[in-house]
Amino acid sequence: MAFISKPSLDLEFTDAAHVANLGVIDRAIRKVIISIISSMAVLPNRFLVKLDAANDYFKTYQHPLGVLRLTVESGENFGEDKEGKSFLKRLVHDVPDCYVKVSMSAEEEWRTKTVKNHRHPEFNETTDILVTDHEQLIQADVQDDDTASDDDIGIATITVKQLLLSGGRHELPLSHKGQHTQGKLTLRGEFFNFVADTTSLSSDGPGILGLMSVLVACVRNLSGRRQELKPSVRVIWGDQVWRTAIKTDCPGADIENPSFDQAFKMPIRAGMVPGGPPVKFVLMDKEDEKGEVEVPLEEVLVSQDSVLYRDFDVGNGVTLRAAVWLRGVRLAE
């Protein structure tokens, strides 16, 4: 289960908490709540409800679809209302120093450089964003860079699907505090599908050239006192370190054969693959290392469809069910 894009929240606090309705406090609380929801259940993150214990996580997991190469081109009439008048309140002048923050679902936010003293700025900056669903909403937040605190100029939104169906270029209207303005922002986008052909991983092109996904399904045949077992799996690739949730014994759980059903992903850029370090899986019990196994990327590259599924022996009769996927990119037609 997941939200395709971040949900919109309306909060109203009552009684002793009424003070939280103040703007600054309300925004801070809203930001914390959205951050928690996003980390769990806003694409590409999903909240897994396992209805069948025998479910094959490798078939259940939905990989990202591809990469959107998004360019913020230019803006018009920044800081002007519908009548063409400035709504920015500045002590010295009202010509904004503009930049654009771009966000999509729970992916990391990106921003352009600041163009100073311009209502019609030219940005022409590009970023790559992983796409999990074509209905994901791209939000472009135009800000006026100020010493004290940045001022809101306007927000423009469009889905990945709408941008691509419009020919890959769209002029979007800006709204400020729910009101339409004279401002406009032009975005351009290209879409690259993830494909089993990993030829692109060897190129020296710009941006994201592919994706590595690491899936950790389960561990089998742990031994020890059930009440003391606290298993997890750490995944290491170069300087990247991920870790699954730490499992504990509880009613209905099989702590000796725990399921993790977690995935970790790494966008591949020039020089990372081939020749990159192996993927290392480390079985943990609390903070103690109980076994490990390494998977060379070369072994993944020569596997069918560049995917390696396996029950790995991590020692003492314990097995780890995991998979490593490699995907290249291809420009969508």
Integer Rg of the chain from CA: 24
How many CB atoms within 10 Å of residue 232?
Answer: 20
Alpha-carbon distance of 256 to 223, in angstroms, equals: 6
Percentage above 70 pLDDT, the chain:
93
Structure confidence at residue 93 (pLDDT): 52
Burial of 306 (0-12, 13-18, 19+ CB in 10 A): buried
Structure confidence at residue 82 (pLDDT): 64
Show the low-confidence residues of the chain (pLDDT under 50). Answer: 90-92
The string of pLDDT tens digits covering residues 269-299 is 999 998 999 999 999 999 999 999 999 999 9
Structure confidence at residue 12 (pLDDT): 78
Nearest Cα to 189, choosing from 212, 201, 171, 211?
Answer: 171
The string of pLDDT tens digits covering residues 141-195 is 999 988 777 788 999 999 999 999 999 999 999 998 888 899 999 999 999 999 9
Alpha-carbon distance of 48 to 43, in angstroms, equals: 12
- What are the structural domains, with CATH classification, of the chain? 66-194 (2.60.40.150), 196-328 (2.60.40.150)
Alpha-carbon distance of 10 to 300, in angstroms, equals: 47
Residue type, 3: F
Residues in the chain: 333
132 with 105: CB under 8 angstroms? Answer: yes
pTM of the model: 0.89
How many CB atoms within 10 Å of residue 80?
Answer: 22
